[in-house]
Amino acid sequence: MTEKIIDAIVLKSQDFKDNDKIVYLFSPAEGKLSAVLKGVKKASAKLKFAGEPFCFAEFCCVKRGDMYTITNAYQKESFFEIRQDITTFYCGASALEIVSAFGAEGFANPSLFVSLIKTLELLVQGVSPKKVLAHFVLCVLDNFGQKPCFERCVECGQKVTDAKFCFDQGGVVCKNCNSDYAVPLDEGVRKVLVNLSVLSHDKLATYKIGEVLADKTIYFLNDLLAKNFKKINSMTQLLQL
Ligand SMILES: [Zn+2]
């Protein structure tokens, strides 16, 4: 029997047996980890909060056989306010789903964890959620060495304006190198992506982009994730609001 005490955020949970849930956690030291939360659906359950997405807590987990069981949890910070606004909720849910899709079980990724926590803090603070989500997507792609190049042509290295985007090559192509597979990329969106790529979380609140441009940026990033990595359902739902 191995006991672990970890700080972690709940990415998602699913019903398990009559009264239990399987909780999918993301921690800086362990990466993704799933654990059973027993009896959580009973009215008297004390650890209900520990099975809710957006819960950030210290979890005590005990391993029996192949599975971890959560024996106790202490809430550290609540990001549940994110659920009070529908757009903010879907942006937060997209961030959790992206970590679920990209993160690996048992692999430490402290910088991705910090990025997720800072992103959820900005959402709680009411910073425009689509801008925060777009920034997070770029952070994740960067974390996994997959961030596209938006500033210079992937073929010739020249700085671009009014470029097209090539999903296969993972970046923009200039007019001279135009590829048959490249699709138009709105110049406003490209500039937003260039600017967001170099912004730290702390500077994000003061960087302004209009609602229409934020929508177009999310639309593009949703397409990029779906084509090159994995479809993020919450992000698709966000675009349908
Ligand atoms: Zn070129």
C-alpha of residue 157 to centroid of ligand 1, in Å: 6
C-alpha of residue 170 to centroid of ligand 1, in Å: 14
| C-alpha to C-alpha distances, 193 to 20, 111, 135, 196, 211, nearest whole angstrom | 42, 20, 8, 5, 15
Confidence check: pLDDT of 135 > 80: yes
pLDDT classification of 2: cutoffs 50, 70, 90: confident
| Domain boundary assignment for the chain | 2-78, 82-239
* Tens-digit pLDDT profile for residues 5-46: 999 999 999 999 989 999 999 999 889 999 999 988 888 889
C-alpha of residue 104 to centroid of ligand 1, in Å: 35
C-alpha of residue 236 to centroid of ligand 1, in Å: 32
- What would the mean pLDDT of 93-120 be, rounded to a whole number? 93
pLDDT classification of 212: cutoffs 50, 70, 90: very high
Count of Cβ atoms closer than 10 Å to residue 84 Cβ: 9
C-alpha of residue 176 to centroid of ligand 1, in Å: 5
Domain 2-78, CATH among 2.60.120.20, 3.20.20.140, 3.40.50.150, 2.40.50.140 = 2.40.50.140
Share of the chain above pLDDT 90, in %: 81
User: Looking at domain 82-239, does it have CATH number 1.20.1440.120?
Assistant: yes
C-alpha of residue 195 to centroid of ligand 1, in Å: 21
pTM value surpassing 0.75: yes
Neighbours of ion ligand 1 (CB under 5 A): 153, 155-156, 174, 177
pLDDT classification of 206: cutoffs 50, 70, 90: very high
Instruction: Compute the mean pLDDT over every residue in the chain, rounded to the nearest whole number.
Output: 93
Confidence check: pLDDT of 171 > 80: yes
C-alpha of residue 229 to centroid of ligand 1, in Å: 25
C-alpha of residue 55 to centroid of ligand 1, in Å: 46
Query: What residue spans of the chain are helical by DSSP H?
Result: 86-102, 110-124, 129-143, 187-198, 211-228, 233-239
CA angle 210, 216, 220 (to 5 degrees): 140
